[in-house]
Structure 1
Amino acid sequence: MTAGTVSVTGYGLFFYDDLLLRARYYQGACDVATVRRRTKFRNLKETYIVFICEEDPFGMGLPVYTKKNRFTETDALIYDDKTHAVFYNSSAWSKIQDEELRDVLRFIYESKATSSFSKLLEENTLRAKSRPEMEDEYMYFMDILEEEKEYAREAGLAEGRAEGARQKAVETAGKLLREGVSLQTVIKCTGLSENDIKNIK
């Protein structure tokens, strides 16, 4: 990135149903964190919100999706407010023309960015924390990361509860079948499908 730009990068297996809203949220966070009192609008920094996704975020098979703002009435004008959102699909790394970027996405997809990538992130975080002018921005985005962790935790708990409820239904179905209860009655009592129940037998 050049001087006068701000970038925020997210990495991982995101909840794609609200990915676009996440991009908007991060953009707003960038604006709040970088705008100073009496900052002239002409001095607003160009921002890039970048998501590096382990799988295809939009299911179109493209290696990269780039957001562009346009006017509804005409394609001849670009609504250039200096904000950008880019979504990389690591699973399609082989389709990337740029060799360096292709190698990075391949590493993330195949190695899950465990050792050296994590070390690089840590080094950049420490570098940001050591710069006084970045302290506010760092703390602000740490708040965002904490919210992301809470979101993921809640989603994991919900998934766990759903799996637990299903397992309980399977156990109940097995008991009813052993007692000679009819298949249709078991379906009504447990909410399982006929195929699920047949697999129990």
Structure 2
Amino acid sequence: KNPDTKNYVLPKRTRYYQALMDIDLLQKNQEYDLLPPTYIIFICVFDFFAKGNYVYTFKKRCLEDLELELPDEATTMILNTKGTHGSISKDIKSFYDYVNNHVINSDFTRQIDDEISYLKLDSKVRREFMLLEARLLDERREAKAEGLAEGKAKEKTATAKRLLSMGLSVEDIAKATSLSVEQVEAIKAE
């Protein structure tokens, strides 16, 4: 949950990651049909939907005709390591056991464990991961700052409009709102 709003963020995180992937997959002026199929996969040690499924797979559907799928080739999967029903392979089940209890009970989970051990020792990979985390944090902070600045600008504009309706001079409104005289005149012209 977002600690400020108490809203669940997993669905919007999937959307955000999809956008990050798509922005990196297509260069400026390239045709949209060059976008490859994408899969966003979240491995959760909790059952977000509380339905007990091992896997929840999402694709876009038309609300007026649920048989109609938007063929954008984007798939989001939520893997629920605490799931109790559905059909999953032995390897995926052993992977869930590995995630939940760090149990290595197959060649697949042994390979995963070996790879994780190797990556933990690789300082370059660790550094790249930390840089990615820092970049994502910076992007979130920047978006929040932009939102706050936009909100303040709207607030100043609304205040200027109210003061104009009260008959105050453009100069007084500029002083009161910290807007320039030109900005207040533009608001007045609207």
TM-score (norm 1): 0.51
Cα RMSD of the aligned pairs, angstroms, is 4.0
Deviation at 1:119, TM superposition (A): 2.6
Task: Quote the offset at 1:120 in angstroms.
Answer: 5.8
Residue 81 of structure 1 corresponds to which residue in structure 2?
A: 72
In the alignment, structure 1 residue 143 sits paired with structure 2 residue 120: no
Kindly tell me the number of residue pairs found equivalent between the two proteins.
127
Partner of 1:20: 11
How far, CA to CA, are the matches of 2:65 and 2:88 in structure 1? 31
C-alpha separation in 2, matches of 1:125 and 1:94: 39
The one of 25, 29, 45 equivalent to 2:36 is 45
- 1:81-120 matches, within 5 Å, as 81-92=72-83, 96-111=87-102, 116=114, 118-119=116-117
Give the CA deviation at 1:94. Answer: 7.5
Q: Is the 8 A contact 1:63 1:89 kept in 2?
A: yes
Query: 1:117 deviation in Å?
Result: 6.1
Change (3 A) 1:93 1:105: farther
Matched residue, 2:50: 59
For residue 35 of structure 1, report the CA deviation from its aligned partner. Answer: 1.2
Helix, strand or coil for the counterpart of 2:16?
A: helix
SS at match of 2:33: helix
Q: What SS class does the counterpart of residue 74 from structure 1 fall into?
A: coil
Measured in 1, the distance between the counterparts of 2:85 and 2:119 equals: 24
- 1:34 and 2:25 are equivalent in the alignment: yes
Bigger drift between 91-100 and 19-28 goes to: 91-100
Query: Per the alignment, do residues 24 and 120 of structure 1 end up closer, same or farther by CA in structure 2, a change over 3 Å counting?
Result: farther
Measure how far apart 1:70 and its partner are: 0.6
Residue ranges of structure 1 left out of the alignment (5+ in a row): 1-14, 130-134, 151-201
Q: Which residue of 2 aligns with 1:191?
A: none
Task: Call closer, same or farther: CA 1:139–1:36 in 2, change over 3 Å.
Answer: farther
Q: Is the CA contact 1:93–1:105 (under 8 Å) kept in the aligned structure 2?
A: no
Task: Classify 1:123/1:29 alpha carbon distance in 2 versus 1 (closer, same or farther; 3 Å).
Answer: farther
CA contact (8 A) 2:54 2:88 kept: no
Q: Secondary structure at the match of 1:70?
A: coil
Structure 1: distance between partners of 2:67 and 2:91: 33
* Cα offset, 1:63, TM superposition: 0.9
* 1:117-161 Cα distance to aligned partner (Å, 9 max, x none): 63365589968x9xxxxx9xx9767623x46999xxxxxxxxxxx
The structure-2 alpha-carbon separation of the partners of 1:107 and 1:140, relative to structure 1 and needing over 3 Å to count, comes to closer
> Larger radius of gyration, structure 1 or 2?
2
* 8 A Cα contact 2:41 2:76, kept in partner: yes
